[in-house]
Amino acid sequence: MTAYNVKVNGRSHSIDVLPDTPLLWVLRDSLGLSGTKFGCGIAMCGACTVYLDGKPLRSCSFPVSAVGDREVTTIEGLSGREAAAVEPSGQEALVECENRDCLTAVRFPRTSRSAAR
Ligand code: FES
């Protein structure tokens, strides 16, 4: 086990895990942030997507030891335009999309609706 400091949703956390522990499991098991979902586990489906310094990242395939000083943002930490995009129906959709690309969908939900109009 190794101690890591990770900054998630604006808060710093100290955790003690193996270096190759996927960020997904740190978020869910160590920090209790269950909004980030497990789907395929091989960086294909996107259910585990978080932002790392504002860029989408598949957290199931990214070791916590590689996070460093960068900021992790999960669905719980979204604010502004992204948060508005998931309210009110988006949050319900996120709960239901265990095996789909939830956080990626958060980024573009209004685009598909706008295109349909
Ligand atoms: S669980 Fe990470 S991409 Fe599917």
Domains annotated on the chain, with CATH: 2-112 (3.10.20.30)
Which of 60, 99, 102 to mutate for ligand 1's pocket (most ligand atoms within 8 Å of CB)?
A: 60
Ligand 1 contacts (CB < 6 A) are 38-41, 43-48, 58, 60
Q: What is the reported pLDDT for 28?
A: 97
Rounded Cα–Cα distance for residues 30 and 28 (Å): 6
**pLDDT < 50: residue spans in the chain:** 89-96, 108-117
In angstroms, what is the span from residue 53 Cα to ligand 1's centroid? 19
pTM of the model: 0.74
Q: What is the reported pLDDT for 95?
A: 46
Q: What is the reported pLDDT for 56?
A: 95
Q: What is the reported pLDDT for 40?
A: 94
Q: Are 24 and 47 in contact (CB under 8 A)?
A: no
Q: Which atom of ligand 1 is nearest to the CA of 44?
A: 3
Q: Which atom of ligand 1 is nearest to the CA of 46?
A: 3
